[in-house]
Amino acid sequence: MQVAVVTGPGEVELRDEPRPRPGPEDVLIEVGTCGLCTMERRLFAGTKPIYPVAPGHEAAGRVVEVGAAVALLPGTPQIGDLVTMDLLTRCGTCHMCRRGRSALCKRPQGGALSDGTISMGAGLAEVVRVAAAQTYRVGEIPVEHAAMGEPLACVVHSVRLSGFRSGDRVAVIGAGYMGRLHLALCGAWGAASVAMIDVSEARQAEALGAGADRAGAPDAVTGWLGGHDIVFVTAGVAGAVEMALELCDDAGTVVLYGAFPKDVMASVGADRIHHHELSIIGVFSQEPEDWRTAAGLLQSGALAADLDRLVTARYKLADVADALALAVEQPVYRVMVG
């Protein structure tokens, strides 16, 4: 079978790899498509110089083999089922995993191809082997929607840890792909309003078209200050934390979802947090509970229209270089490969 390997900035090749064989508790999945995330863009752009590496962790496809130990277990995906898949490697034994916070598993993530090449999901391939426990049936939906299971699970994790409740007033800083998924999920779960903040006028307009109650640039939100219960920061830039706190009403929560440059610091008034009962939390990745919720949402079709809007382009695996170039060079939501 073939698998895409990024070998350097702007360089990717398709390598022949032995077709994996499922262990007794695994399933083998023929990949239908795989989304290109920020990680893949950074690897191809050269800002995350880890080479050679087989990336791709937002994948979905159909089961073609099932391990003998799980083949007859109720709930286990069976041959022909369309599944979304969790390609993280959770050890299950470290302190974080035992606390139920497996998104923060202490064991280093990833694996290796047969020649020792680092694997970061390796979903940009024809076939992948996954533990059956980390695959989720989604019914008969577009495979591109199924491939959004991983980012949707991350957003479910974000909204769950935020303490969100129906009727909350929400703001989202950053109207890119992850910001739009926050908009879709909070809207579906009964937010009283969702405001979107982004520097791009095009993305502001697109967010309004996707159901945002209002959208604006960071310098045009003065009238919005103090009017939100939860503010999700999906664009980790200098000043975003301070802006998020200004957007919060009393007892508000700021959720730091997007990654920040390591040198970005935030100035936070401790007394203000105390007197107004403000909270700042970080969220990272996803956990099995979030996957179950995400898979249910996908199968229900509740977010189908929102997900359709977020597919920017589709490419075959043979054209992965063109797909990566588009994702790096142009503003996109999700480019799909498979």
Mean pLDDT of 56-63: 98
Phi, psi of 206 (to 5 degrees): -65, -35
Q: Is the pTM of this model over 0.95?
A: yes
- What pLDDT does 203 receive? 98
- What pLDDT does 314 receive? 98
User: Do 83 and 160 reside in the same domain of the chain?
Assistant: no
Whether 290 is in a domain gets the answer no
User: Do 86 and 179 reside in the same domain of the chain?
Assistant: no
**SS3 for 169?**
strand
Residue-wise burial string across 69-99, b where 16 or more C-beta atoms lie within 10 A, e elsewhere: ebeeeeebbeeebbbbbbbbbbeeeeeebee
User: Do 257 and 186 reside in the same domain of the chain?
Assistant: yes
- Would you say 96 and 105 are in contact if contact means Cβ atoms under 8 Å apart? yes
Distance CA 133, CA 250 (A): 41
Whether 302 is in a domain gets the answer no
pLDDT in tens, 32-57: 999 999 999 999 999 999 999 999 99
- What pLDDT does 324 receive? 98
CA angle 10, 85, 62 (to 5 degrees): 95
Whether 303 is in a domain gets the answer no
pLDDT > 90 fraction of the chain, expressed in percent and rounded: 98
User: Do 26 and 136 reside in the same domain of the chain?
Assistant: yes
pLDDT in tens, 163-202: 999 999 999 999 999 999 999 999 999 999 999 999 999 9
Which domain does 163 fall in, by range?
Answer: 155-282
Distance CA 314, CA 36 (A): 11
CATH number, domain with residue 253: 3.40.50.720
CATH number, domain with residue 136: 3.90.180.10
- What pLDDT does 72 receive? 87
pLDDT in tens, 270-303: 999 999 999 999 999 999 999 999 999 999 999 9
Q: Which residues pair with 13 in a beta bridge?
A: 5
pLDDT in tens, 23-36: 999 999 999 999 99
Count of domains forming the chain: 2
Distance CA 299, CA 297 (A): 6
